[in-house]
């Protein structure tokens, strides 16, 4: 199909803004099935993992680990330990991902191992709260860091932060709706930026080490050893910095050669992140004492001012880049879960449709974007969302449990990657701890509300999925139809 032919048409139905896309299609291959393309290679996979895991935390407040572990030595050990644990967790996910090559993160595994209800509750919680709120929070921090340099000594006005984060959300959604490739380029670019600034910090740290700034590091193990409880809290906080190691499982279907690339990306990505975290921490310790690090409102900025001046402005700029990249990664994978849940009938069908022209799950992305924008409106969403975070570890635990369960129930499935079952057991135990630790530490009523919200999903499940009321589908059908026509989305074609 020649491009000029398209243009010659009286009424170019593709609209004005997508000639570029047309030409892209023509250039690559004349025929492209309306489905999510296998666009994500190894590099993009690694950059998705690294880009989502490394957010702003390591630059702004890598404090909690140090606070609980007490001294430099234990702190670095905890960072390393967290890296090992995340790698083990991710290896479990690699087994699951190569065994059940479906997108949607934990969802297909829970569906396979525990059935519809658990998977439904997972998708309900994640689609409605966890994913959009984390997208919202990352965008909010992006906006905060982007505007902070203009407001020295005080916090930027709420209107600036909210407008900028809403703009970021829309921009990212638009980019993701247009092209998976473009979204990947964005991801790769910002991950590269992120690694660059880490490289700068680590490089500066090495220079300073060579110069002999080892005062803080030489007393690494001074002081009383931290208690077991404190170590636990340090791990709890450290593991949050590593959250995001399951990102690639959300897009298994879009990976080129998932059997090779999924485990490989995990094995490259997570140790890379661990190495970055440990080295950045060492670099910080070359110019800051532990107290200074604990007190700094923005650790990397303090580092930048002390070491890189007069080029210290690069640090905030790249931290902004880094958060933007994380937001993009978060949006990219969040859309996939909504899409898969819709495909299985656990969300409205339209969410599983994909764009005819761009082969992106645009309804799912837009839905996620709209929810995220709603989440940035309330004054303080952070506190509420923090209470929901325990749910995240419930699902991680259930997923690794699913791995163990399926070793017995689904022996016949081919497992290109097979982790020792002990590892999965360890992950289950760790998840239990991470779920219970904060609740026991501070048993707030809010945890109960969150649980109630999660289980309230069952009401919808009962009415719309279990009973399948006909009036519901009668009601949805015209809406779906019109939305389809409006957004030009269709159910994905099967290509098997």
Partner 1 sequence: YSFGTAMELGECTRNPGYQEADREADRAADITTTNGPEESRDSTGVCLDSDAVEYTQIKPFAGMPKEVLLLYSSQARYRVPREILFWLTVACTLALVALSITVIALSPRCLSWWQVSPVYQVYLRSFKDSDGDGVGDLQGLQEQLHHFQYLNIKSVWITPFYRSPMRDFGYDVEDFKAIDPLFGTMHNFEELLAEMHSKGLKLIMDFIPNHTSDKHRWFNLSRTRDEHYKDYYVWADCNATAPKPNNWVSVFGNSSWTYDEVRGQCYLHQFLKEQPDLNFRNPHVRKEMIDILHFWLGKGVDGFRMDAVKHLLEATHLRDEPQVDPNKPPDSVTSEWDLHHDYTTSQLGLHDLLREWRAEMDKFSREPGRYRFMVTESYDYHEVDKTMMYYGTTLVKESDFPFNFYLLDLPQNTSGLWVQHLVHLWMSNMPRGQWPNWVVGNHDKPRITSSAGRRYIHVINMLLLTLQGTATTYYGEEIGMENINVTQSQIQDPAGKYNASASRDPQRSPMQWSGDMNAGFNNKTNITWLPVHPDYSRVNVEAQKKEEGSLLAQYRFLNTLRQSELPLQRGWFCFVHADINVFSYLRELDGLDRAFLIVLNFGKESAVTDLSTVSELPDQLMVLMSTDRENDGKVLHKSRILTAAGEGLVIQYSTYTRFNPSHPMQCYVSEKACYLAAIDILYKC
Q: Which residues contact partner 1 by CB under 8 A?
A: 1, 5-6, 9-11, 13, 15-17, 25, 30-31, 33-34, 143, 147-148, 150-154, 156-160, 163-164, 166-167, 170-171, 174, 291-292, 294-298, 301-302, 305-306, 309, 312, 349, 356, 476-478, 480-482, 484-491, 493-494
- In this complex, which beta carbon is closest to partner 1, that of residue 63 or of residue 415? 63
Token pair in block for residue 240: 């949050």
| Cβ 452 to partner 1 shortest distance, Å | 33
| Cβ 66 to partner 1 shortest distance, Å | 13
| Cβ 16 to partner 1 shortest distance, Å | 8
Q: Which residues make Cβ contacts (< 8 Å) with residue 450, sequence separation at least 6?
A: 387, 388, 390, 391
- In this complex, which beta carbon is closest to partner 1, that of residue 349 or of residue 415? 349
- In this complex, which beta carbon is closest to partner 1, that of residue 292 or of residue 446? 292
Q: Which residues make Cβ contacts (< 8 Å) with residue 135, sequence separation at least 6?
A: 169, 327, 330, 331, 334, 368, 369, 372, 375
A 10 A CB-CB count for 219 gives: 14
* 35 and 256 Cβ atoms separated by less than 8 Å: no
Token pair in block for residue 383: 């506190």
| Cβ 492 to partner 1 shortest distance, Å | 8
Task: Specify burial of residue 173 (Cβ count, 10 A radius: 0-12, 13-18, 19+).
Answer: buried
| Cβ 117 to partner 1 shortest distance, Å | 23
| Cβ 12 to partner 1 shortest distance, Å | 8
Distances (CA, A) of 395 to 97, 122, 163, 234: 16, 7, 33, 21
Closest CA to 93 of 426, 393, 399, 433: 399
| Cβ 488 to partner 1 shortest distance, Å | 5
* 254 and 180 Cβ atoms separated by less than 8 Å: yes
- In this complex, which beta carbon is closest to partner 1, that of residue 103 or of residue 362? 362
Cα–Cα distance measured from residue 208 to residue 366, given in angstroms and rounded to the nearest whole number: 47
- In this complex, which beta carbon is closest to partner 1, that of residue 275 or of residue 356? 356
Rama region for 307: left / alpha / beta (φ>0; ψ in -120 to 50; rest): alpha
Radius of gyration of the chain (CA): 23
Give, in degrees to the nearest 5, the angle at Cα 125 between 123 and 126: 65
- In this complex, which beta carbon is closest to partner 1, that of residue 151 or of residue 466? 151
Q: Which residues make Cβ contacts (< 8 Å) with residue 162, sequence separation at least 6?
A: 140, 143, 376, 377
| Cβ 71 to partner 1 shortest distance, Å | 15
């Amino acid at each position: 199909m020649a491009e000029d032919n398209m243009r010659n048409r009286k009424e170019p139905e593709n609209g004005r803004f997508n000639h570029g896309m047309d030409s892209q299609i023509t250039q690559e291959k004349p025929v492209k099935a309306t489905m999510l393309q296998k666009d994500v290679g190894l590099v993009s996979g690694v950059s998705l993992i690294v880009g989502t895991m490394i957010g702003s935390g390591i630059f702004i407040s890598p404090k909690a680990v140090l606070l609980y572990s007490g001294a430099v030595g234990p702190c670095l050990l905890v960072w390393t330990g967290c890296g090992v644990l995340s790698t083990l967790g991710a290896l479990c996910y690699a087994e699951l991902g190569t065994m059940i090559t479906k997108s949607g993160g934990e969802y297909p595994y829970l569906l396979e191992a525990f059935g519809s209800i658990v998977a439904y509750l997972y998708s309900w919680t994640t689609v409605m709260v966890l994913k959009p709120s984390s997208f919202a929070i990352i965008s909010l921090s992006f906006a905060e860091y982007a505007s902070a340099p203009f407001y020295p000594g005080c916090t930027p006005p709420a209107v600036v932060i909210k407008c900028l984060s809403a703009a970021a959300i829309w921009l990212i959604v638009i980019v993701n709706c247009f092209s998976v490739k473009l979204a990947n380029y964005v991801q790769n670019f910002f991950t590269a930026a992120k690694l660059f600034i880490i490289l700068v910090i680590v490089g500066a740290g090495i220079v300073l080490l060579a110069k002999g700034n080892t005062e803080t590091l030489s007393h690494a193990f001074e002081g009383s050893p931290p208690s077991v409880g404190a170590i636990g809290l340090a791990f709890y906080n450290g593991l949050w910095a590593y959250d995001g190691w399951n990102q690639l499982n959300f897009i298994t279907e879009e990976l080129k050669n998932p059997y090779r690339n999924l485990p490989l990306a995990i094995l490259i990505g997570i140790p890379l992140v661990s190495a970055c975290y440990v080295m950045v921490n060492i670099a910080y310790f070359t110019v800051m004492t532990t107290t200074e690090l604990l007190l700094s409102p923005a650790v990397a900025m303090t580092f930048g001012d002390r070491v890189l001046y007069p080029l210290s402005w690069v640090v905030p700029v790249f931290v902004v880049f880094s958060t933007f990249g994380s937001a993009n990664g978060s949006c990219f994978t969040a859309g996939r879960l909504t899409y898969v849940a819709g495909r299985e009938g656990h969300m409205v069908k339209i969410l599983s449709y994909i764009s005819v022209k761009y082969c992106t799950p645009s309804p799912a992305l837009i839905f996620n974007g709209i929810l995220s924008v709603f989440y940035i409106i309330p004054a303080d969403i952070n506190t509420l969302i923090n209470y929901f975070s325990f749910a995240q570890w419930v699902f991680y635990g259930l997923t690794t449990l699913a791995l163990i369960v399926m070793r017995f129930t689904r022996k016949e499935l081919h497992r290109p990657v097979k982790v020792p079952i002990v590892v999965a057991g360890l992950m289950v135990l760790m998840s239990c701890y991470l779920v219970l630790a904060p609740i026991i530490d501070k048993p707030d009523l809010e945890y109960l509300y969150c649980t109630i919200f999660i289980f309230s999903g069952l009401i919808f499940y009962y009415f719309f999925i279990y009973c399948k009321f006909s009036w519901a589908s009668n009601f949805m059908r015209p809406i779906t139809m019109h939305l389809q026509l409006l957004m030009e989305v269709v159910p994905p074609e099967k290509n098997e």
